[in-house]
Structure 1
Amino acid sequence: MPRFLSLVRIDEATAPAGGPSPELQQRMGALLEEITKAGVMLDTAGLTPTSEGVRVRHEKGGKLTVTDGPFTEAKEVIGGYALMQAKDKAEAVEWARRFVEVHGDEYDVTCEVRQIAE
Structure 2
Amino acid sequence: MKYMLLLAGGTDQTEAEAAEEMPAWFAYDQAVKDAGVFVAGDALFPVETAKTVAVATGTVTDGPFAETKEVIGGYYVLDVEDEAAAIDWAKKLPPSTTAEVRQVMVFDEG
TM range (shorter): 0.7 to 0.9
State the distance in 2 between where 1:45 and 1:117 align: 20
State the distance in 2 between where 1:78 and 1:18 align: 20
Structural mapping, 1:1-118, within 5 Å: 2-12=1-11, 14-18=12-16, 20-22=18-20, 24-58=21-55, 62-69=56-63, 73-99=67-93, 102-103=94-95, 107=96, 109-118=97-106
Q: Runs of 5+ in structure 1 lacking a partner? A: none
| Partner AA of 1:3 in structure 2 | K
Task: Tell me the secondary structure at the aligned position of residue 102 of structure 2.
Answer: strand
| Partner AA of 1:111 in structure 2 | A
Aligned residues: 106
Task: Tell me the secondary structure at the aligned position of residue 15 of structure 2.
Answer: coil
Task: Tell me the secondary structure at the aligned position of residue 86 of structure 2.
Answer: helix
Identity %: 31
1:51-71 CA-partner distances (Å, limit 9, x unpaired): 11101013xxx4332111266
- Residues 4 and 83, structure 1, Cα contact 8 Å, conserved in 2: yes
Q: Runs of 4 or more off by more than 3 Å in structure 1?
A: none
Q: Runs of 5+ in structure 2 lacking a partner? A: none
- Residues 8 and 110, structure 1, Cα contact 8 Å, conserved in 2: yes
TM-score by length of 1: 0.78
- Residues 52 and 64, structure 2, Cα contact 8 Å, conserved in 1: no
TM-score by length of 2: 0.83
State the distance in 2 between where 1:89 and 1:72 align: 28
State the distance in 1 between where 2:61 and 2:16 align: 26
